Amino acid sequence: MSHTYEYPRPAVSVDCVVFGLDEDQLKILLIQRGAEPFLGMWALPGGFVEPDENLNEAARRELQEETGLRGVWLEQLYTFGEVDRDPRTRVITVAWFALVKMSRYRARAASDAANVDWFPVSRLPRLAFDHRKVVRLGLQRLQAKVRYQPVGFELLPEKFTLRQLQQMYEVILDRQLDKRNFRKKILGMDILIELDEQESGVPHRAARLYRFDKSRYKSLLKAGFNFEI
Amino acid sequence: MSHTYEYPRPAVSVDCVVFGLDEDQLKILLIQRGAEPFLGMWALPGGFVEPDENLNEAARRELQEETGLRGVWLEQLYTFGEVDRDPRTRVITVAWFALVKMSRYRARAASDAANVDWFPVSRLPRLAFDHRKVVRLGLQRLQAKVRYQPVGFELLPEKFTLRQLQQMYEVILDRQLDKRNFRKKILGMDILIELDEQESGVPHRAARLYRFDKSRYKSLLKAGFNFEI
DNA sequence: CCAAAAGTGTTTCACTTACACCCATGA
DNA sequence: TCATGGGTGTAAGTGAAACACTTTTGG
């Protein structure tokens, strides 16, 4: 290890695959590049890691700077280090994936900058660097993860209906679920708090609202409970 | 992004959590450090990434150089980038986890160097850097992964008995499994090839040998099959 | 003949799946 | 009163878990 300082060091960046749920579409947040290489092309929000910040801090800082998002759910995805992935120089990027409650942030991101926008995952523009690959992995991870960890709630508002919850799973997993079986299962888990409220503004019978009971989930976990959709 | 070249770049290394199965013990391969910092302390095999090699290539090269291991099963684990994790300078490490058939490699690794050795995961020495944390994550990943992907076979010889297979799961998952149910389940998956051979040298009835049928598994996967223990 | 592990089936229970109708509400 | 989604139960089938004895082999 000691001979290493002679070598040129790679640059290290972070990139974020940010997922949001817009009605019945799964979307990803992209920024339009303002510099070469790939000037004008859409890319994942991200940037270089500062010497005095941890990797997750760098990811959060870049998200904030480039898109205005703060306090989102964030988890490391994968590190991409192919020698030629950046035409300028060797850049190793630590990719993260984030889940945001779009209802809370949409306005913000849209107004902040013209070069930030949400795209449906099924209709992405051409992406800079190897970001296509990063997105694909993020999507795979989301589909796998959502099934055995209650992370999907991060995409919904604090208060949601069972229909919204089911639809979230249907959109991410890309298949239909049976309404009665879904309700039976999720309610049987005993991780939802039934609120004394209903959705409003719908032109038909209003549905009951629920909240995810995180502390309840945690204590169930310790007791050996296994979340699974 | 363009202002970044002014910043000092972090060093980037790879470290490998190498698992092996020794009879009924899960072991990890460690090397004893020959340089500061942490001189003389045990650590994960690893080292700095060269400018012209991909991350997985770096991991394989370091494994080969430091332990003599080649051609092992390797997968990225996580990237650790805490600012202070290396006392010399900022070092970001991409951790990998590897599974090896110890029966094939044990002699080699042991003879090559006095400063390479296998340790039971339950009795590890004090480790350099944050390698304790890396190992812990590797172990968690192994336990999770082995249950829904047939990676455990990488720890066994090409030909193995059902007892060996079951014991591998018992050791990794740290719980007993029912023999009859286990056999029913694994044989029912139809991913094992029953050989016309038996183990030899045992002082009791010899068990039949099996091989993992990888191509069969792959085609089952495409048909929607879900491996799970 | 003894010790040690190989090999084998059945029952019970829980969970998953498939499936259709009435109700409440706002327009 | 109509359109739209909210809300509910049951039966059949599938898979998981619990459980004990006989067989084979080498020493």
Rounded to whole angstroms, how far apart are CA atoms A31 and A43? Answer: 5
User: In the structure, what pLDDT confidence band is assigned to residue A108 with cuts at 50, 70 and 90?
Assistant: low
| Secondary structure (3-state) at B98 | strand
Q: Is the CB of B205 under 7 A from strand D?
A: yes
| Secondary structure (3-state) at B115 | coil
Q: Is A84 exposed, middle or buried (0-12, 13-18, 19+ CB in 10 A)?
A: exposed
CB distance B162 to B210 below 8 Å = yes
Q: Do A11 and B2 touch (CB under 8 A)?
A: no
**Residue B26 token pair:** 């899960």
Claim: this prediction has a pTM higher than 0.85: yes
The continuous run of DSSP H or E covering A119 comes out as strand A116-120
* Angle at which helices A162-173 and A179-189 cross, to 10°: 110
Closest nucleotide to B207 by C1' from CA: C6
User: In the structure, what pLDDT confidence band is assigned to residue B111 with cuts at 50, 70 and 90?
Assistant: very low
Count CB neighbours of B195 within 10 A.
13
The average pLDDT across B53-66 equals 97
User: In the structure, what pLDDT confidence band is assigned to residue B64 with cuts at 50, 70 and 90?
Assistant: very high
pLDDT score at B1: 46
Amino acid type, A69: L
Tell me what the pLDDT averaged over chain B comes to: 93
Q: Is the CB of A146 under 7 A from strand D?
A: no
The average pLDDT across B54-73 equals 96
Geometric angle at alpha carbon B30, from B26 and B34, rounded to 5°: 170
The average pLDDT across A94-116 equals 77
pLDDT score at B108: 54
* Distance of C1' in D6 from CA in A203, Å: 12
Rounded to whole angstroms, how far apart are CA atoms B151 and B159? Answer: 15
Cβ neighbors of A122 (< 8 A, separation 6 or more) are A25
User: In the structure, what pLDDT confidence band is assigned to residue B2 with cuts at 50, 70 and 90?
Assistant: very low
* Distance of C1' in C19 from CA in A180, Å: 10
* Distance of C1' in D18 from CA in A144, Å: 32
Q: Do B12 and A8 touch (CB under 8 A)?
A: no
User: Residues B128-182: pLDDT tens digits?
Assistant: 999 999 999 999 999 999 999 999 999 999 999 999 999 999 999 999 999 999 9
Q: Is A107 a residue whose pLDDT tops 50? A: no
pLDDT score at A64: 94
Closest nucleotide to A184 by C1' from CA: D8
Q: Is B24 a residue whose pLDDT tops 50? A: yes
Closest nucleotide to B184 by C1' from CA: C8
* Contact residues of A toward B, CB < 8 A: 1-2, 4-5, 7-13, 35-36, 47-55, 76, 78-79, 81-83, 90, 92, 94
Of A2-6, A19-23, A69-73, A143-147, where does mean pLDDT reach its minimum? A2-6
Report all structural domains of chain B as residue ranges with CATH numbers, in order of start: 2-148 (3.90.79.10), 156-222 (1.10.10.10)
CB distance A82 to A131 below 8 Å = no
User: Residues B185-205: pLDDT tens digits?
Assistant: 999 999 999 999 999 999 999
Q: Is B20 exposed, middle or buried (0-12, 13-18, 19+ CB in 10 A)?
A: buried
Rounded to whole angstroms, how far apart are CA atoms B20 and B142? Answer: 11
Closest residue in B to A34 (Cα–Cα) = B1
* Distance of C1' in C11 from CA in B176, Å: 22
Q: Do A79 and B90 touch (CB under 8 A)?
A: no
Q: What is the b/e burial string over B122-133, where b = at least 16 CB atoms within 10 angstroms of the residue's CB? A: eebeebbbbbee
Rounded to whole angstroms, how far apart are CA atoms A226 and A222? Answer: 10
Q: Do B79 and A1 touch (CB under 8 A)?
A: no
Rounded to whole angstroms, how far apart are CA atoms B111 and B106? Answer: 9
Rounded to whole angstroms, how far apart are CA atoms B20 and B29? Answer: 8
Rounded to whole angstroms, how far apart are CA atoms A155 and A100? Answer: 5
CB distance B16 to B105 below 8 Å = no
Residues of chain A with C-beta less than 8 angstroms from the C-beta of B90: 51
Q: Do A9 and B12 touch (CB under 8 A)?
A: yes
User: In the structure, what pLDDT confidence band is assigned to residue B8 with cuts at 50, 70 and 90?
Assistant: confident
Tell me what the pLDDT averaged over chain A comes to: 93
Rounded to whole angstroms, how far apart are CA atoms B183 and B163? Answer: 9
Q: Is the dihedral of CA B153, B156, B158, B163 positive or negative?
A: negative
* Contact residues of B toward A, CB < 8 A: 1-2, 4-5, 7-13, 35-36, 47-55, 76, 78-79, 81-83, 90, 92, 94
Q: Is the CB of A185 under 7 A from strand D?
A: no
Q: Is the dihedral of CA B66, B71, B73, B75 positive or negative?
A: positive
Geometric angle at alpha carbon A107, from A103 and A109, rounded to 5°: 105
The average pLDDT across B55-72 equals 96
Count CB neighbours of A26 within 10 A.
19
Rounded to whole angstroms, how far apart are CA atoms B139 and B165? Answer: 18
Query: 């790879």: which residue's tokens?
Result: B14
**Residue B88 token pair:** 């010399």
Amino acid type, A151: V
Residues of chain A with C-beta less than 8 angstroms from the C-beta of B4: 11, 47-48
pLDDT exceeding 70 applies to what percent of chain A? 93
Q: Is B3 a residue whose pLDDT tops 50? A: no
Q: Do A4 and B52 touch (CB under 8 A)?
A: no
Q: Is the CB of B187 under 7 A from strand D?
A: no
CB distance B100 to B20 below 8 Å = yes
